[in-house]
Amino acid sequence: MKSTAEEKQHQKLKVLGVCGGIGQGKSTASKLLVSDLGCIAHLDADSIAHSVYSPGSQAVKDVVSEFGSRILAEGTNDTIDRKELGKIVFAERNEMARLEKIVWPHVKTLLSEKIEALKLDWEKEKKDDATAIIVLEAAILLDAGWDDLLDGVWTVRAPKSTAVKRLVETRNLAEEEAEKRISYQNSSRGIGNIDAEIKSGGITAVIENNGTLEDLKESLKNAIHDPKSWK
């Protein structure tokens, strides 16, 4: 018979952070983890960040007071035009840092609430499921300091040439634009400095994504079952 401690360990619901640069495959990996590998939910930080900009919210007021009314959608005084805001912040790192300072705390609050709600639902169902995992996909999760929410942090990695090819083929981006977007994220933790993050324990597994979707699925499956992939 299992001891109570063993049982608890067995039933623990884990939160897995998936990071990686644009076009490397973090979204594909996160979806596979749920559709094929038994994880129970996929939270996407990009969409959660978008929901922070709901018209009239405190975040919108704070962003407008920082960047001015030029980032409001035409004819409104409470709705952010994300494309306009993007033009400013993607062009200049310091501008993005100002935005992140406002937005990231709101995103973290929403994330924590969503994770708590999923945990409560799972506890109620009392499934004896050793691989009950919530997946949080976020390119910037280490920079944002969300690792305290996580039981493991995996980075999905593909060679730059593969990522550029995939972005050109599937997102209709010009090659130069794809390269520019990849370079933009190179200074993010867990994207441009993977070896140092592995050494310091910031990243607990690297998922190579240079093959087929079946290869990616196999790597993810191995990582789920490898204790070294978890904190």
Ligand X SMILES: Nc1ncnc2c1ncn2[C@@H]1O[C@H](COP(=O)(O)OP(=O)(O)OP(=O)(O)O)[C@@H](O)[C@H]1O
Ligand Y SMILES: CC(C)(COP(=O)(O)OP(=O)(O)OC[C@H]1O[C@@H](n2cnc3c(N)ncnc32)[C@H](O)[C@@H]1O)[C@@H](O)C(=O)NCCC(=O)NCCS
**Near ligand X in 26-65, by CB under 6 A:** 26-28
Could you tell me the smallest distance in angstroms from the CB atom of residue 219 to ligand X? 10
Binding segment (CB under 6 A) for ligand X, from list 16-24, 89-97, 186-194, 223-231 = 16-24
Point out which residues bind ligand Y (CB under 6 A): 22, 45-46, 49, 82-83, 85-86, 89, 96, 99-100, 103, 107, 138-140, 185, 188
Could you tell me the smallest distance in angstroms from the CB atom of residue 25 to ligand X? 4
CB 30 within 8 A of CB 47: no
Quote the CA–CA distance of 71 and 82 in Å, as a whole number.
8
Which of 228, 181, 221, 201 is CA-nearest to residue 29?
221
Quote the CA–CA distance of 119 and 116 in Å, as a whole number.
5
Based on the shown chain and the rule CB under 6 A, indicate whether residue 23 belongs to the binding site for ligand X: yes
Could you tell me the smallest distance in angstroms from the CB atom of residue 187 to ligand Y? 9
Q: Which is nearer to ligand Y, 188 or 219 (CB)?
A: 188
Based on the shown chain and the rule CB under 6 A, indicate whether residue 204 belongs to the binding site for ligand X: no
Q: Which two tokens stand for residue 46?
A: 């990009």
CA distances from 12 to 8, 130, 145, 178, 192 (A): 6, 7, 23, 40, 32
Region of residue 218 (left: phi > 0; alpha: psi -120 to 50; beta: else): alpha
Quote the CA–CA distance of 80 and 84 in Å, as a whole number.
8
Quote the CA–CA distance of 59 and 52 in Å, as a whole number.
6
Q: Which is nearer to ligand X, 30 or 60 (CB)?
A: 30
Binding segment (CB under 6 A) for ligand X, from list 107-115, 191-199, 206-214, 219-227 = 206-214
Binding site for ligand X (CB under 6 A): 20, 22-28, 139, 166, 170, 209, 212-213, 216
